[in-house]
Amino acid sequence: MILRAIKAKDAGLGACVAAVLFAVTFFAERNEWQHVEAVERVAFERTADSIARGVVARLDGRLDGLAALHEALRDGTVSEGAGFEVAAALIQGKAAPYLAINLIDRDRRIAQVWPAEPNRAALGRTVGQSPAIVALLDEARMTRRPKATGIVDLFQGGQGLVVYYPIHRDGEFRGYLNAVFRVADLDEDIVALAPASLAVRLFDGAAADAAADPLRHIHVSDIPVLNRHFRLEVSHARGVRGSADYFVALVLPFALSLIAGGTASLLLARSRLGRAEEALLANLTRSLPLALITVDARGRILRFNPAAERIFGVPAHAALSREIHDFVPVDRRDAHRGLTAGFMESDLDNLVMGDWRSVEAQRADGARFPVSVLLTKTLIEGQRVATAIVTDMTEEQRKQIALVRLADDREAQAHRALSASQAKTMFLASMSHELRTPLNAIIGFSEMIDQEILGRMEPKKYAEYIKDILSSARGLLALINDILDYSKIEAGAHRPNMEAIALEAAVEQAVRTARGIAHEKNIQLVFQAGGAPTAVMGDARAIRQVLLNVFSNAIKFSPAGSTVTVAAAAPDAEGRAAIVVEDRGEGIPPTFLANLGQPFHQARGDSAVAGEGTGLGLAISIGLMRSMGGDLKIDSEVGRGTRVILAFDRAGTMIDPA
């Protein structure tokens, strides 16, 4: 009975001990999980919030660069061309990466891109292929405020975010400054701020429901970009373990052993995971091209990665006994100590140490060099530590200096080209008198001899010679006049005397003059006037010169017995009055048509016909039409003839042709 009582007592005691042990284990485990979940949640929220602030800071930095470039374009400090390229390159270096920085003209065409590659294909393309984008551009132009799109398809491929800054200068709308951020690039930028254990994405849409996925921590932040708001989602896998698991274990007679085994397995798993994460972090620290330097609250170096050894020229074992201030130039160390202490005591989790152009570090040999520095801060075992991520900007500085020199060289070349053009214009102007004066004398005396005003010529062979002299002199004078006219147009020295002109009357007068040439070639020149008289703005002498040049070309390249038609046409797409000159000649091959309007380039390859002119008439005509605000277009088809369309701006009042 005693034995039985002892056994029963022992068994009861053992059961009590087992029950107590199980209860202690259960409640201890449950409390540990709840604590871990709470700590993870707080740490996760803090990290997610820090990532969001970092993303906002980076986007703000890029927008600040664009705002500065926009202001320079508005006040004329930066101009199109090389000036824009240099300015775009500078802000690329400061706030990179932009996928593209573009200038868009007032017609929404891309006029200039930076960088040229891989964006060259976008030149000339029209932005705003959807009503929504067109409305956005109109709103930016009307309100004079920059606007951002949502996530859109890009010319360069993929999707991205596009911003437009309207450019108004001297009260006039000039177009837009445009920048493109590819979503993939932004994702890489964001991931650079986030630990590898977190999943981060930027999207345009409604916020995710944080309670929808019980197996993940989810934090959604609002990211403002100009007039739009985007969402930044940060998520992290979390462990979920309910009390029911433990209560089920009570039913089993070996619950205590299973709990102990499970707890041991969990601890081992946690230990392995911790070692794996530590090894991964150490590997990343060793392989990163950026210098990572971790310091304590007093600035003493705790970690110095291989990139830091390479950049500063100091081995890690020697750096660990020094302060971070030793790698700052002597004249800046006091300011650096104050900045570091202030950052350690502040509520900021990260800080960018100013513009890299004004931030310098010092190598072991005393050499100073520009750096970009990002400071981050955290708590380790209750102690504040900071990590400086240092980028050597020496190569970036060299590139920017090279870009500035290139811009200076281009400006010098442009100045030399302008000086050469001015010298050419002055030379031609001075030669005008020197060449025309003797030619006029040659022509005048040749005409007197040809007309035998002072007596008969003997022998008669001299009559043939004098005709050749007279013809050659007149041809040379016409060539000189053409060259001088083209030089004035090219130099911008031609100033048309703009007035209201009765177009039909001017055309009819030019037709009467050209009919003599047409008659010699047995060609009929027909003028088909329109209805009511049309008044256009132009220079009467320039209009006559253009009409005679176009009529002469049409007659010259028309076969004998054909007809050249001159007709008033319907207004063009811009409402301008139009005159169409059409011949039935052989037409102009496409290879020649592409180069028409270039000086000394003739419309046909037939030297027997083309040799009759200088090749300047069409170039002069195009220049004169443009100087009057008009246009000259050519449409030709081999074997079917050529059409020349002359478009003139209409005058505000009608002119009586009488």
Residue 415 pLDDT greater than 70, yes or no: yes
Q: Are strands 383-392 and 577-583 parallel, antiparallel or unpaired?
A: unpaired
**C-alpha distances in angstroms, 552 versus 48, 515, 568?**
78, 10, 18
Indicate the average pLDDT of the chain: 76
Query: Cα separation of 316 and 228, whole Å?
Result: 47
Nearest to 534, CA basis, from 362, 410, 651, 367? 651
Q: Give the mean model confidence (pLDDT) for residues 593-620.
A: 60
Q: How confident is the model at residue 291 (pLDDT cuts 50, 70, 90)?
A: confident
Q: Give the mean model confidence (pLDDT) for residues 358-367.
A: 86
Residue-wise pLDDT for 119-145, tens only, equals 787 888 888 778 888 888 899 899 989
Residue-wise pLDDT for 447-500, tens only, equals 888 887 877 877 878 877 887 887 787 767 766 776 766 666 766 667 888 899
Query: Which residue type occupies 210?
Result: A
Q: Give the mean model confidence (pLDDT) for residues 97-112.
A: 85
CB-CB contact of 189 with 58 (8 Å): yes
Residue 190 pLDDT greater than 70, yes or no: no
Residue-wise pLDDT for 615-631, tens only, equals 677 888 888 888 888 99
What is residue 32's predicted lDDT score, i.e. its pLDDT? 59
Residue 49 φ then ψ, to 5°: -65, -40
CB-CB contact of 244 with 30 (8 Å): no
Largest CA distance in the chain: 175
What is residue 15's predicted lDDT score, i.e. its pLDDT? 57
CB-CB contact of 627 with 644 (8 Å): no
- Kindly give, in sequence order, each residue whose CB lies less than 8 Å from that of residue 153, ignoring residues fewer than 6 positions away: 159
pLDDT over 70 percentage in the chain: 72
Q: Are strands 577-583 and 641-648 parallel, antiparallel or unpaired?
A: antiparallel
CB-CB contact of 552 with 514 (8 Å): yes
Q: How confident is the model at residue 164 (pLDDT cuts 50, 70, 90)?
A: very high
654 vs 154, more confident: 154
388 vs 266, more confident: 388
Nearest to 567, CA basis, from 557, 582, 547? 582
What is residue 270's predicted lDDT score, i.e. its pLDDT? 59
Nearest to 354, CA basis, from 370, 372, 369? 372
Q: Give the mean model confidence (pLDDT) for residues 172-191.
A: 76
587 vs 596, more confident: 587
Query: Which residue type occupies 443?
Result: I
Residue-wise pLDDT for 51-97, tens only, equals 888 778 778 878 888 888 888 888 888 878 777 877 787 777 655 56
Query: Cα separation of 8 and 3, whole Å?
Result: 8
pTM exceeds cut of 0.75 = no
- Kindly give, in sequence order, each residue whose CB lies less than 8 Å from that of residue 91, ignoring residues fewer than 6 positions away: 65, 66, 68, 69, 98, 101
Q: Which helix (H) or strand (E) holds 87?
A: helix 82-95
Residue-wise pLDDT for 549-582, tens only, equals 899 889 988 999 999 999 988 777 788 888 999 9
Nearest to 163, CA basis, from 110, 75, 232, 228? 228
484 vs 169, more confident: 169
